[in-house]
Structure 1
């Protein structure tokens, strides 16, 4: 007795293959980020953020309101996505608890059994929970970076603040990747063919967005280098000129 083709077999072929394409691309992206960060958009952005922290620390603590505002904007964005992920998790959990099936077998080309539908919702719920956890960690590290960069004495090493900011950025990127996986799995609700097509389209779009062809920006020295000394001399010269002008003005009749 030979094997007979069924529509439910599409889920066994297309869904794992589409998921494999997504995972293989992100493994390749991770390899490029670790070995050649200048070829990825994430590495390019992290390079600029490290330089941003160094430049912001050249200002005195009372003048760092701009950098605190920038980190506050990132905190607002991560908090919003955290709330959205939590709401979607609650919604999917409610759908998972509902045993009724809103789709008929005539609409979806693939397996429409109750067990397969449960697997779909559990997979989507897992991605949204991962995104929620990543955005929570993003908020945590950005809050920590805000505290460090606003310390008045300025005794915090620049590497500590850079680590906090870069960790927040990396968790942000990881949370977005989890949302991309969740989007492709949402298409699985409508059948394995939309899920597979969505996976291929997502990989193509992400490849265009993740690749970096711009050269790394070479920033000047930090506050301990020539740039910092030049800035200090300019500040001293400006204050000295102000004192001289005030003294000459007071001697005028």
Structure 2
């Protein structure tokens, strides 16, 4: 029994998926133990400073902060809508039994109906996972919006940090699900394009996820800044009143 073209799916597809999973496990390890070497950890460090600066700043600057949070909510909602729309299109495609493009001889690989069903289900799972992650991202950003806009100084900054960081983490997982969906989408054209896309995706993501820049040393203390401003104002007021007393 010789090697047939349908055997390529058994060899190349698991190899491509394993390559993607191993890379993301390595990225997760770096994120947990060496966060400064990843772009996600670098961005989270800056987000923590941003939250600290906002919570210690003046209440009149809240409008700018809410604008930033609202832009993240809009982006997460848009991608969630796109993911749900693609899920609907896949369902409509599955129900269309007259479409035989992916079972033609143009696809070099396994074109049996059972394998085609696995392709559809795998792609649908990725888009559903992306939809769920983007919805959770929008949920956490909305929660952060409520905490920041609360007219009280008793809100701990750690709670806002947790909401913002979790929103960003769910956003990142949703994007990763879309990257996996792109690989599985190319599987419809054969296992060779899917495996080639996996290699290119790992190299591309490694370039995007690696951070070589040093952490920015932020220095911000709202109370000290307020004291300095009040001291400066009092000095200016003293300088203004001194000529009138001399006269």
Range of TM-score over shorter length = over 0.9
| SS of structure 2 residue aligned to 1:64 | helix
Cross-structure match for 1:36: 34
Q: Kindly tell me: are residues 167 and 249 of structure 1, through their superposed partners in 2, closer, same or farther at Cα, counting changes over 3 Å?
A: farther
Cross-structure match for 1:146: 145
Q: Kindly tell me: are residues 249 and 164 of structure 1, through their superposed partners in 2, closer, same or farther at Cα, counting changes over 3 Å?
A: farther
Provide the C-alpha distance between the structure 1 equivalents of 2:141 and 2:124, rounded to a whole number of angstroms: 26
The one-character-per-residue Cα deviations of 1:108-151 (angstroms, maximum 9, x if unpaired) are 00011111111101000000000000000000000000110111
Scaled by the length of structure 2, the TM-score of the pair is 0.93
Cross-structure match for 2:210: 211
Provide the C-alpha distance between the structure 2 equivalents of 1:247 and 1:159, rounded to a whole number of angstroms: 44
Cross-structure match for 2:228: 234
| SS of structure 1 residue aligned to 2:56 | coil
Scaled by the length of structure 1, the TM-score of the pair is 0.91
Provide the C-alpha distance between the structure 1 equivalents of 2:116 and 2:164, rounded to a whole number of angstroms: 40
Residue 245 of structure 1 deviates from its aligned partner by: 8.3
For structure 2, which runs of at least 5 residues remain unmatched after alignment?
Answer: none
Residue 238 of structure 1 deviates from its aligned partner by: 5.0
Note the aligned Cα RMSD (angstroms): 1.9
Q: Give structure 1 regions of 4+ aligned residues with deviation exceeding 4 angstroms.
A: 241-251
Cross-structure match for 1:4: 2
Match runs of 1:88-99 below 5 Å: 88-99=86-97
| SS of structure 1 residue aligned to 2:101 | coil
Provide the C-alpha distance between the structure 1 equivalents of 2:110 and 2:137, rounded to a whole number of angstroms: 38
Residue 239 of structure 1 deviates from its aligned partner by: 4.7
Cross-structure match for 1:120: 119
Provide the C-alpha distance between the structure 2 equivalents of 1:249 and 1:198, rounded to a whole number of angstroms: 77
| SS of structure 1 residue aligned to 2:79 | helix
Contact 2:137 2:168 in 1 (8 A): yes
Contact 2:103 2:112 in 1 (8 A): no
Aligned length: 244
Provide the C-alpha distance between the structure 2 equivalents of 1:245 and 1:98, rounded to a whole number of angstroms: 83
* 1:198 has 2:192 as partner: no
Provide the C-alpha distance between the structure 2 equivalents of 1:57 and 1:155, rounded to a whole number of angstroms: 10
Residue 45 of structure 1 deviates from its aligned partner by: 0.4
Contact 1:61 1:151 in 2 (8 A): no
Provide the C-alpha distance between the structure 1 equivalents of 2:89 and 2:239, rounded to a whole number of angstroms: 69
Provide the C-alpha distance between the structure 2 equivalents of 1:183 and 1:107, rounded to a whole number of angstroms: 20
Q: Kindly tell me: are residues 250 and 107 of structure 1, through their superposed partners in 2, closer, same or farther at Cα, counting changes over 3 Å?
A: farther
* 1:47 has 2:41 as partner: no
Provide the C-alpha distance between the structure 2 equivalents of 1:120 and 1:104, rounded to a whole number of angstroms: 12
Cross-structure match for 1:83: 81
Residue 212 of structure 1 deviates from its aligned partner by: 0.6
Contact 1:135 1:175 in 2 (8 A): yes
Provide the C-alpha distance between the structure 1 equivalents of 2:101 and 2:192, rounded to a whole number of angstroms: 19
Of 20, 25, 28, the residue aligned with 2:18 is: 20
Provide the C-alpha distance between the structure 1 equivalents of 2:44 and 2:188, rounded to a whole number of angstroms: 36
